[in-house]
Chain A
Amino acid sequence: MARLIRTEKEVEGRFEEVWIVVEEDPLEQWPEGPLEVVGRPAPRKDGPERVRGEARYTADLRLPGMLQAAVLRSPHAHAKVRRIDLAPALALPGVRAAIGPGEAHGLEEEAGFAGAAVAAVAADTFAQARAAVKAIDVEWEELEVVLDPDDAVKREQLTAEPRTYERGDVDKAFADADVVVEGTYRTQTVLHNSMETHQAICEWQGDTLHVYISTQFIWGIRQAVAQTLDLPEDKVRVVCEFMGGGFGSKNGPDEYTFVAAELAKRTGRPVRCALTRREENTSAGNRNATIQRLRAGARGDGTIVAFEGEFRNSVGWSGWNASTEGPMRMLYDCENVRSVTYGAKLNTPPMKAFRAPGFVEGTFGLECLVDELAAKLDVDPLELRRRNYAASNEGTPFSSKNLEDCYRMAEPHWERRHEVRSRSDAVWKRGVGMASQIWYGGGGPPSYAWVRLGSDGRATVITAMQDIGTGTRTAMAQIAAEELGIPLEHVDVALGDSARGPYASISAGSSTLPSMGPAVRAAAADAREQVEDIAEQRGLPADTPLQEIVAVLEESQILGKGARGPNPTGMSVLTFGVHVVEVAVDVETGEVNVERVAAIHDVGRIVNPLGASSQVEGGVIQGIGHTLSEERLLDPESGRILTTSLDSYRMPTIADVPEIICEFVDRPDEHLTNLGSKGLGEPPIVPIAAAIANAIRDATGAEVHELPISREEMLRALREAEERAREKEKRGAPAAV
């Protein structure tokens, strides 16, 4: 029976109360460990299409009569359009339409950052559209620019009220603490830079708008586009069969979709609006920079008694104030915690969710601070983490938490530190560091799937979800194959089209597998039960192969239907893990090489160990980029973006990759759905920066406080460590004889 419930929905660490209809989820979980198909490595179902270049991405679609759009963007970080003349653009060859501020959602008169969209043109070719954009005559009124987050906080120029949190008596706890450490940590702005840039093609057919888009959330696009254009949602069809990466930046429609829709309306032709790589680097979102002023207090026995943090998120012109304080609140059993988080409104490009937003930044600060505490207490960093293990999430029980197992599995990697250090020489210092991970990833309802079974014994899973590259299409096929008891090769997955399948989850917040997987299993179980009914009526024994049972059906089909059940009430569904990293630091030049990463994660049941290891490697590698080389740079005077190409914005290449060892606890969360799986897209990027910084401390004694750990920052930290050592020698050590 359908049941209406009020529940808390979480995406990317943001919660909202929603009404949803849930269906009962009566299926028992499968037993722990590898089954016939689930839990066994499976190459991607769509691997051949993708590898052979046959997969059609939004960028590859060519609709008949399609026009190309280009967007005029503000060259100023803060300015107002005093006067704009589109006529010179319209006079150029090939130009079919031009629109200015207010004529499409996202084209605005006031540009709050360099790269904000102002006007757009549709032309026969992209070159013509670009030439026309250049011809648009704009008179700008430049306005005051605020770029410094401290300045913005001082002026109370914030995106929202500061978020405060407090438990216990923090002041008293610090006063009573035996040891107090404090530090300021800074993280930089980093860019998603998905390989396929943000883009959409819009086409009107009758009163229906067809939107082909590179997106992480087909249904979110449908809803946002319908709301903005005042259309019934069923009059918006959203298609995304393959998409070239998102990492959080493609959750919503943005200006390019509305530009394409409006220009398509005006010209009566399909219109593509695709960001160039340069636009991708200015206008497609970012992981915001942070400043974290942190303090921790502990008793001599290593019990952490107090945490305090002031967090300043450089949100930008718009965006939300991510939970940078989350790890400090949740990772350890600490009775007294106080935090305030400011979202600075700046004349910089808006932040967007980026793979565990807030927690990546917050874990860097927190886990570096905890290691500094370990050093001051002279306690082993792994031991300190164990001593402060949180048994609940501020009193709410965990649906499952196996971080203790992660720590145990980390031991052999952690033990290597003695040997690793011993390989240091005068120039290259080696060391080992660790950091823990906490993050969401439980998914939730609503999400639906259908399973269609033919008389040939082959099944198709139908659901309008998207596979953003994480391999969820394959995981869905595995789940259906397992439940139906048929080979993986006999299951296809049809996804990517809101007109051809039921509502499906966003692929963000590590939620696709935990949201969709249970719905797919329920749909397959519904089909299986119908097959069992048929077997009974045919007088066939229960163990007859499915293919034999349905063979008589001819054109008849069996249709199974499934929905994602609710999350366990009164429990926190979270993911956990630990990274142990080995680095080598050249103390003369400040070069840092990450040599080995052991990534151990607890995300419930692993459906596809092969795909899961790819997620972990990808997260680790992206995290190494964030830690060592990536940084979006602004001109500090004008606010213009200096790093707009993949030459200047430095992402890791194959030559930068260390040895990566992936291990999983692989134990189903007994309270979470019929599957017991949590998401894995985000967890592996959370702890890597702190683990690298802690390894650097182990190798050199230097305390890194800033990302990226450029050579400049590394050399600064080394110099500081030397001075500290000299001071200590002067003060404490007996003179050498």
Chain B
Amino acid sequence: MSALRLTVNGGEHVLDVPVGTSLAQILRDELGLTGTKIACNEGHCGACTVQIDGVPQLSCITLAHAVEGEVTTIEGLREHPLVEAFVRADAVQCGYCTPGQVVSAAALVAANPQPTREEIRHAMAGNICRCGTYPKIEEAILSWQG
């Protein structure tokens, strides 16, 4: 066990967890933030995407003790206008990958408020959606009014 200090969605957490625990596990199992999904648990699919200081990171392959910076999860982005844009565009089917998609998309529009289709495809290519909501995700991000 080792002490861990983590800032998540603006709140401070002090935990005592085994070294080697992933950030995704901490979020889901210790902090109850289950909006961050684990789908592959090895950094291939993007479902676990969170932001660390605004930059999208794969929380399933990020060691919790190695995190430097503020973590933002989907729970911290629930009021983001992209949420409404995703719902309106039907950019959600089973929804399991969707929180990760929104976290990635929020980082994209923060850095580039009016991304082109190509830029969206480039920024979002790490988030797999097996249901194939991709056209609607593109539409949601294009329709986003920041």
**What residues make up the interface of A, taking CB atoms closer than 8 Å to B?**
43-44, 46-57, 59-60, 62, 192-197, 242-245, 247, 276-277, 468-471, 610-611, 613-614, 617-622, 645-647, 651-655, 657, 660
Contacts and interface: CB of A to CB of B under 8 A. Distances in A.
Max chain B Cβ within 10 angstroms of own Cβ: one of A57, A193, A196, A610:
A196
Given A44-B87, A195-B45, A277 B135 contact: no
A150 B87 CA distance: 49
B92 A470 contact: no
A223 B4 CA distance: 46
5 contacts: A44-B92, A51-B87, A53-B37, A62-B29, A245-B93
Contacts of A46: 95
Contacts of B122: 655
Given A194-B94, A614-B93, A655 B128 contact: no
Nearest to B78: A52
B134 A645 contact: no
B44 A646 contact: yes
Contacts of A646: 40, 42, 44-45, 128
Contacts of B94: 50, 194-196, 242-245, 468-469
A653 B83 contact: no
A6 B33 CA distance: 50
B30 to A, nearest CB: 11
A621 B134 contact: yes
A62 B30 CA distance: 11
Given A54-B35, A646-B44, A653 B130 contact: no
A618 B131 contact: yes
Interface residues of B, number: 52
Determine chain A's interface SS by DSSP, over half rule.
Answer: loop
Contact of B93 (A52, A277, A469): A469
B58 to A, nearest CB: 12
A50 B92 contact: yes
Contacts of B39: 195-197, 244, 277
Given A195-B37, A613-B90, 7 more contacts: A50-B98, A195-B97, A244-B39, A646-B40, A646-B128, A647-B44, A651-B128
B130 A193 contact: yes
A656 to B, nearest CB: 8
Q: Which 6 A-B pairs have the closest CB atoms?
A: A53-B35, A469-B94, A50-B95, A244-B96, A621-B132, A618-B132
B90 A48 contact: no
A651 B47 CA distance: 14
Contacts of B28: 60
Contacts of B133: 614, 617-618
Contacts of A56: 34
A195 B130 contact: yes
A645 B120 CA distance: 25
A387 B94 CA distance: 40
B136 interface: yes
Contacts of A57: 37, 96
A190 to B, nearest CB: 12
Given A52-B35, A655-B122, A645 B75 contact: no
Contacts of B129: 195, 654
A532 to B, nearest CB: 35
B33 to A, nearest CB: 8
Contacts of A196: 37, 39, 94, 96
A653 B98 CA distance: 14
Max chain A Cβ within 10 angstroms of own Cβ: one of B36, B92, B102, B127:
B92
Nearest to B89: A43
Nearest to B126: A653
Interface in B34-70: 34-42, 44-45, 47
B6 interface: no
A57 B37 CA distance: 10
A52 B83 contact: yes
Contacts of A468: 94
B8 interface: no
Interface in B66-121: 73-75, 78, 83, 86-88, 90-99, 102, 120-121
B132 A47 contact: no
A197 to B, nearest CB: 7
B135 A657 contact: yes
B124 interface: yes
A44 B89 CA distance: 10
Contact of A242 (B40, B75, B95, B137): B95
B99 A53 contact: yes
A53 B36 contact: yes
B3 interface: no
A41 to B, nearest CB: 8
A469 B75 contact: no
Nearest to A49: B95
Nearest to A471: B93
A47 B134 CA distance: 16
A280 to B, nearest CB: 9
Given A51-B99, A618-B133, A654 B121 contact: yes
A626 B61 CA distance: 28
Nearest to A247: B130
A624 to B, nearest CB: 9
Given A52-B35, A53-B74, A654-B121, A44 B90 contact: yes
B11 to A, nearest CB: 16
Contact of B90 (A197, A614, A651): A614
B78 A652 contact: no
A52 B99 contact: yes
A655 B125 contact: yes
Contacts of A621: 132, 134
Nearest to A620: B132
B45 A660 contact: no
Contacts of B135: 617, 657, 660
A1 B35 CA distance: 47
Contact of A622 (B32, B127, B132): B132
Max chain B Cβ within 10 angstroms of own Cβ: one of A48, A50, A620:
A50
